[in-house]
Amino acid sequence: MQPNHSALSPARTRITLFLLALIYVFSYIDRNLIAIVIEPIKQEFGVSDTVMGAVSGLAFAFLYSVFSFPLSRLADSGVNRKNIVAVCCGLWSLATMASGMVSQFWQFVIFRMTVAIGEAGGTSPSISMVSDLYPPHKRSFAISLYMLGPHVGLLAAMALGGWVAQEFGWRAVFIFFGAPGIVLAALLYFLGKDPGMGVFDTEAEQKVRLQPKGKFLTDLQDIIKIKGFLYICMGTAIAGMVGYGYGIWAPTFMVRNFDMTLAHAGLSFGLASGIFAAIGSMYSGYYCDKLCQKDTRWQLRMPVIGVLLSIPFGYGFLFWPTDAIWLLGDIKIPHAIVFAAGFSFFNSWWPTLAFAAVSKLVNSKQRATSIAMLSLFLTLFGAGIGPLLTGTFSDIFSQTDAGDGLQYAILLMLVTLVFSALFYYKAIAPYHKHMTEISANEQLAAQN
C-alpha cells in the first residue's frame, strides 16, 4: 500500500514548499537578469550579440551541466536535500552580487560561471523534495507551484529589473537581486525540513530504495532505459532552447523594434509574460492531475497541445504592426504584448508537466538524478544553445536585406517547437505503458 500523508505537519510542508519555490524564483532571476541588461553590458565592454548569447547561455550551461550530476547524486544518496539547496543558494546569490562589481568582462564571465555552479544544486534536490512532500496524485500541481519560479522570476527580473537598470545602472541590478537569496538560504536552512526520501513509496518501491546503491554510470543507464524518458528529454531540450532564446532576447527585440526604454520593455514584457505564464503553469498542473486520474497519457498530451498552441502567438508577437498601440496616459502599450501573454500561457505547460512526468517514471532513489538528467537537456540546449543560437542568427540575418535580424532569428527558433511537440507525442505511448506496469505491480504487491 502507498502512504497517503507525509511525516511532516501540513504547516511545515507548506513552509518548505514555499521556501523552495521562492528560492527557485530568485534562482531564475539571478540566471536571467542578463536578459534585461544585454544592451548596456554590450556597450560598456564592446562585445557582439553572439558573445552575449554565449555568456548568457553556453558558458553558464556548461558548468551547470558538469556540477548537476554529482550534486544530484548526493541528494539521491540520502544527504539532506534541504542543506544542499541552502548552501547552493547562498553561493549563487553571492556570485550574482559580485557580477555587478566587476571592472573587466572576463571577471563578469567568471562570476556568471559561479552562479551556474551554485544553481546546479538547486532544481534537482528541490523537485526530489517536493515529490516527497506530496503524494503522486497531487504531485503535478505541487510541482506546478514550485515551477512558478521561472514565471514569477521573469516578471520580477523584467519589470523591476528594467526600472533598477534605468535608474541606477546595470550593475545595481545584480546587487539588488542577489542579496535576497542569502536571506532565503538561511531561512530554508533553519525553517525548512527534508521530509525524507521515498515518503510515498509503495512496499515494492521501498524494497528497491533500500537496496545498495550501484555505480553512477550503471544507475544512469537504468534511468535512460526507462520507456519514454529520452523522448521527454528531447522534447524538453528543444522547448527549452526556444524558450530561453525567446526569453533572453525578447526584451531586446522590444527595445529595438518598439522604440522602448529598458524599463518600459521590461515592465511590459515582464508583466504580460510572467503573469500569464504563472497562470498557465498552475492551470496545467491542476488540470493534468485531474485528467491523469482517468488516463495517464494526459501527462504528455498536454505539453504537446501547449507547445503547438504557443507557436502562432509567438509569431503574432514578432510581426504584429509596431504602430498598433494603446495609450495608458503617456505610456504606450503595443498590441503585440497580447500575443506575448498568449505565448507564455501555453508555453508554460511543458516545464511543469515534463518534470512531473519524470518524477513519476522513476523510483525515489533515482529521482534527483533523473531530474538532473532532464535539467541537463534543458540547460545545455536551452540556457546553453538557445540564447547563443538566437544571437548568432541575429548577427547573420542583420547582414542581409531580410529586415531586423533579431526578429527573424526568434522566428526561426519558434518554428523548431514543432519538433518538441513531436518528441513529447512519441513519448506518450511508452510513458503510458510504463505507468501501467507500475500500477499493475502495485496491485500485485497489495494482493500478496
- pLDDT one-digit tens code per residue, 74-122: 988 889 999 999 999 999 999 999 999 998 988 998 898 899 899 999 9
Q: 375 phi and psi, to 5 degrees?
A: -65, -30
Contact 355, 143 (CB under 8 A): yes
Give me 78's grid cell. Answer: 540520502
Q: Is 6 helix (H, G, I), strand (E, B) or coil?
A: coil
Q: Is 327 helix (H, G, I), strand (E, B) or coil?
A: strand
Of 150, 149, 234, 195, nearest to 367 by C-alpha is 195
- pLDDT one-digit tens code per residue, 309-323: 999 999 999 999 888
Contact 219, 20 (CB under 8 A): no
pTM for this one?
0.80
Give me 418's grid cell. Answer: 514543432
Indicate the range of 19-28, 169-178, 208-217, 251-260 predicted with least confidence.
208-217
List of residues 6+ apart from 276 with CB closer than 8 A: 341, 342, 344, 345, 348
DSSP 215-231: -HHHHHHHHHTSTTHHH
Residue 218: count other Cβ atoms within 10 Å of its Cβ: 9
Going from the N-terminus, what domains does the chain have, and what CATH number goes with each?
13-441 (1.20.1250.20)
